[in-house]
Amino acid sequence: MKTSFRSWLRPSGTIRRGRYAVIGLLGFAVKHNLDRALATLVFHRDWSLFNYWIPLRETVRITALQPDQARFLGTMLALSLPFIWIGVTLTMQRLRSAGLSPYLVCFFFIPFLNLLFFLVLCIVPERPDESQQDLARFPPSGPGRANWLPASALGSAAAAILIVVPTGLGIALLGAQILKNYGWGLFVALPYCMGFTATLIYGARRPRTLLESTGVACLSVLVLGGLLLGLAFEGAICLLMAAPLAVPLAIFGGFCAHRMQRRRSLQADAAAFLGVLLIVSPGTEWVEHVVARPAPVFVVRSSIDVQANPEEVWRKVVAFSEIEPPTEWLFRAGIAYPVRAKISGTGVGAERRCIFSTGAFVEPIQVWDEPRLLKFSVTSNPAPMEEWTPYSHIEPPHLHGFLVSEGGQFQLTPLPGGGTRLEGTTWYRHGLFPAAYWRLWSDAIIHRIHMRVLTHIRDEAERK
């Protein structure tokens, strides 16, 4: 059945699930970008997906709105009216097409539940009298097969991505934005379950090759990463760091689902396809949130030999001049890097401030053993990085409190011939799990920070 824009404005008629899904996703993309542009450019307010459910977090009662808040909400509501009308009419058409009661359109207005409602309407097939043409074109491939799925490889892959990615996006935002978890549920359970579920859906209509199955599994997490970047929830660097963990897990999930499909036929039940993704991943995130474990403490040591005596090196350690801009790709991509250091006072109790590109570390001195050992704690940490993003600035929760320096020290050891071995040590915590994987990144980054400082101190001391 062909549809025109005029038919979108009338609740009568029907619309197929594929066209309904495409129009709904494109309409939301247009609406979100219009809202973001209006909020940021005209009203100078931040805008994200959560604002559709809580437009003004600081507002409790509509009667307590300030004039600027009232203007903002009124303008946003006026912009929303055409989209609401089109959404309601198309939803009523889709309900009629699926043989469901049009009164179910009330779910369109219920926050959070409306997302699942939209997903269900994108899956539920048309009534038999409207789907005979599809069945004639794509006959069932066997008993128990999911006849509501497209028979073509491209169509089945699109259906798998359409179902798995929005669900995965919701689960990722639940863990990162609401529960503030960056752990096993987000980085292990979610990519595995997405790959597993995407492969199940992809192969539900007819058998697929292993390469095709794992390809769709891998594509599901890559599309999710693109959405997180495009919707300003994450930056490119963090997504690239997570990719070596998430992509193989998704491929492994696809492999497991492919082997399962080869052993037995699966029933064409959408709830079964989504069950793993909807229960295991958020369940793991919730358990991590309830049984929160303290972040482990790690230590990184780096050293360099300086052709200068310890007394001269000590003066450069306590406070060093500004370092030249970095050339390493890691720092140029957004990882915070040291710029200079200054100190107020001398001896135990003095306060050292190491200035980074994102702010200052405040370091009260605990041990002042000149010219052998300078040890300090850290009472204030700046953000560990500036996210690379197409937007002007984003603030994911992991930028605050998930990578924290506990303390550090510089140890100077005399060498034969008047030289000095300078060793820098950092004790730090990070709340990212699996800790062993993320420690590979954090240790490497902190070592590069150490070497940037140690090399600068060596050059300054040797030049002196």
**What pLDDT, on a 0 to 100 scale, did the predictor assign at position 51?**
67
The angle subtended at Cα 72 by Cα 82 and Cα 108, nearest 5°, is 40
* Domain identity same for 278 and 316: no
CA distance 405 to 354: 12
Same domain, 284 and 360: no
CA 165 to CA 294: how far, in whole Å? Answer: 31
User: Same domain, yes or no, for 66 and 86?
Assistant: yes
Q: What was the pLDDT predicted at 417?
A: 87
SS (H, E, C) 58-89: CCCCHHHCCHHHHHHHHHHHHHHHHHHHHHHH
CA distance 234 to 222: 13
Give the number of other Cβ atoms within 10 Å of residue 249's Cβ: 22
Assigned token pair, 420: 């000095």
Q: Name residue 353's beta-bridge partners.
A: 342, 362
Q: Which of 137, 158, 190 is where one domain is finished?
A: 137
**CA 375/CA 126 separation, integer angstroms:** 70
Residues 458 and 320 placed together within one structural domain of the fold: yes
> pLDDT tens digits for 19-57?
888 888 888 888 888 888 888 888 888 777 766 655 444
Q: What are the residues whose beta carbons fall under 8 Å from the beta carbon of 326, sequence distance 6 or more?
A: 332, 337, 452
pLDDT for position 287: 84
227 and 170 part of one domain: yes
Neighbours of 325 (CB within 10 A): 10
Answer yes or no: do 274 and 321 share one domain: no
| CA 456/CA 422 separation, integer angstroms | 12
Task: Please give the mean pLDDT across all residues of the chain.
Answer: 83
d(CA 10, CA 88): 9
Give CA angle at 50 (44, 52), nearest 5°.
Answer: 80
* Residue 236 shares a structural domain with residue 320: no
- Phi and psi, residue 264, nearest 5°: -155, 160
Q: Cβ neighbours of residue 324 under 8 Å, at least 6 residues apart?
A: none
Using pLDDT thresholds of 50, 70 and 90, give the confidence band for residue 220.
very high
Q: CATH no. for residue 416?
A: 3.30.530.20
Indicate whether 329 and 251 sit together in one domain: no
Regarding whether 84 and 203 lie in a shared domain, the answer is no
Pair 304, 447 in one domain:
yes
**Residue 144: what residue type?**
G
pLDDT of residue 219: 94
Domain extent at residue 327: 297-463
Phi, psi values for residue 42, rounded to 5°: -95, -45
DSSP of 339-378: EEEEEESSSTT-EEEEEETTEEEEEEEEEEETTTEEEEE-
pLDDT digits over 71-97, tens only?
A: 787 788 788 888 888 888 888 888 888
The predicted-structure confidence for 259-315, as pLDDT tens digits, reads as follows 887 765 444 444 455 555 667 888 888 888 887 778 889 999 999 999 999 999 999
| Structural domain total, the chain | 3
* DSSP bridge pairs for 356: 338, 359
Pick the closest to residue 165 from 35, 30, 274, 15 (CA basis): 274
Domain boundary among 137, 166, 200: 137
Domain end: 91, 111, 137, which one? 137
pLDDT at 257 over 60: yes
Q: Is the pLDDT reported for residue 157 higher than 60?
A: yes
Distance CA 285, CA 185 (A): 5
Q: Is the peptide bond before 125 cis (omega within 30 degrees of 0)?
A: no
* Percent share of the chain, pLDDT over 90: 39
Write the CB contacts of 399 (distance below 8 Å, at least 6 apart in sequence): 383, 384, 385, 387
Give every strand in the sheet of 351-356, ordered side by side. 297-306, 420-430, 403-414, 373-377, 359-369, 351-356, 338-344
Q: Where are the alpha helices (H) located in 100-189, listed in sequence order?
A: 113-123, 128-137, 153-173, 184
Using the predicted structure, report yes or no on whether residue 142 has a pLDDT greater than 70.
no
Q: Does the pLDDT of residue 344 top 50, yes or no?
A: yes
Residues 72 and 181 in one domain: no
pLDDT in tens, 383-400: 999 888 877 778 888 888
| Statement to judge: residues 341 and 364 lie in one domain | yes
